[in-house]
Amino acid sequence: MKKIDWLIVFLILVASFILLKDLFKAGLYTSHDGVHQVVRFFYFDQALADGQFPPRWAQGLINGFGYPLFIFSYHLPWFIAEVIRFLGFSIIDSVKYTFLAGFIFSGLTMYFLQRDLFGRLAAVAGTALYLLAPYRFSNIFVRASIGDATAFIFAPLVFWSLVKLKEKVGWKWEVLGSLSVAGLILSHAMVAALFLSIFGLYFLFSLPTVKNKISYMKFCAFIVLGGFGLSAYYFIPSIIERGNTRFQELMNQIFVGNYFAGINDLIYSKWGYGVFHSKEGAMSIQLGLIQWLVVLLTIIYLLKILIFDKKISAEKKKLVREGIILVILFIFVIFMMLPVSLPVWKMVSNAVFIDFPWRYLAVSVFLASLCTGLLIKILGKGKIILAIIFIISAIYLNRNHLRINETLPWDLSFILKLEKTTNTYDEYTPKWVKNEYIAENKPRVEFSGGRAGIEILKNKSNLLEFSVAAPEIRFIIRGGKYLWMEKKKE
């Protein structure tokens, strides 16, 4: 890298710390999932300490009976948090700083992608609009959705690999693509499905322009298979074992058709900290006014070139083709967030479950960022001024989105008492578990009759050892029995 690149990397770091400065306030803050995330990381950290690798079982949940949380919940954000935890930070701070790490690394990956495709100036503007989007701050300060926030790191890397493999064959792009697909899946499977659907369409739209189509198809298949293979330890059990839980019966009746956005809300919606569709103070699901403006200007400029420019250079033709594909994908993404797309969702819901269609906001932010870089690249005069206007406008329009709502005076022990499963509907509870059986927190081992002395020797998430001194051995071992768990009485 040149000195200017190191300077830009430094500026991304500084800007990230300034924009997310509220994460450095003491304690946890009010949010939709913040408490969930702290409890999840606590039990993930505990599972690793107990020797579970990869973690599957959270013993302390469901009143101490245990819950198969990590069979289904994402892993990569917690591995990142473990690195921060290793540096000496608390559980709560490790979760908060994982948001910061995701923000920083997503800025870096987008910068290097756009620098390669469009040049430094375009990359700076495009990265600014990738970071300075309302949904990015909503994910962190309102929703506290750590999986969504982490997924932003890997989308630019997958796209970069797809673009480079159109031009030339290189094993490093295949490896990078595979690792990045795995990173997407391990960050958040639903968000990964949305990004991969768009990357699949990009592949199909790009294929006619690729010279060596067979090789390109082979290498893209390698990326997908490699990514799925690297993440198979997680997603295969999550798919196979989901049928043993209450997930399907709960989610199907709750989500289908209930969480679409209105086009007005996507253009502008008032900033709030409540849940989606709350009567007062609902979260904003706006894409961002400057992002909308960039896409509109991209469409106008592409039409201007196609209609009025008689001579177009080969490089500009290539950029125009890319721009047309990006605009088509953007329109499709917006369509998929609107109620009119309900028939499509009903068709795919059996294969892929997506709880909120407006999760496609992540993809729309990504595409708007790419449109920014492409527009700056393709412009002639005035590109520097336009880039500055875009960046300053993005900062100004997000000035009220850069803070938490309130801090919470809760310590970790209190937070742990608040959670039953860390899922709103307890949807990963095994089908055969009776609610009355798990209603109260009881000792993990208890003598069922008479007098006895019970000494717990080892009490871990994946191991229970104890000794019993009694004239007659009759005792109860409590746990949320699961498929691969075995209870022994000796």
Token pair listed for 84: 């921060």
Residue 285 CA, distance from chain mean position: 16
Residues 6+ apart with CB under 8 A from 266: 285, 286, 287, 334, 337, 361
pLDDT score of 465: 79
Which of the 8 DSSP states describes residue 141?
I
Asked if the model's pLDDT at residue 421 lies above 80, the reply is: yes
More confident residue, 116 or 315: 116
Asked if the model's pLDDT at residue 478 lies above 70, the reply is: no
User: What percentage of the chain reaches a pLDDT higher than 70?
Assistant: 92
CA 19 – CA 362 distance, rounded (Å)? 19
More confident residue, 33 or 167: 33
Asked if the model's pLDDT at residue 490 lies above 50, the reply is: no
Q: What is the pLDDT of residues 456-465, one digit of tens each?
A: 777 787 777 7
Longest Cα–Cα distance in the chain: 98
- The number of CA neighbours under 13 Å toward the Cβ of 355 is 14
pLDDT score of 455: 72
Residues 6+ apart with CB under 8 A from 315: none
Token pair listed for 280: 């007062």
Q: What are residue 468's DSSP bridge partners?
A: 454
Distances (CA, A) of 62 to 52, 67, 69, 420: 19, 6, 11, 5
User: Average per-residue pLDDT in the chain?
Assistant: 90
Which pTM was predicted?
A: 0.93
Backbone Cα Rg of the chain: 25
pLDDT score of 256: 59
Asked if the model's pLDDT at residue 454 lies above 70, the reply is: yes
- Average confidence (pLDDT) over 469-488: 57
Residues 6+ apart with CB under 8 A from 356: 255, 259, 276
Asked if the model's pLDDT at residue 489 lies above 60, the reply is: no
Q: Which of 338-342, 356-360, 422-426, 472-476 shows the lowest per-residue confidence on average (mean pLDDT)? A: 472-476
Nearest by Cα to 449 from 471, 429, 417, 425: 471
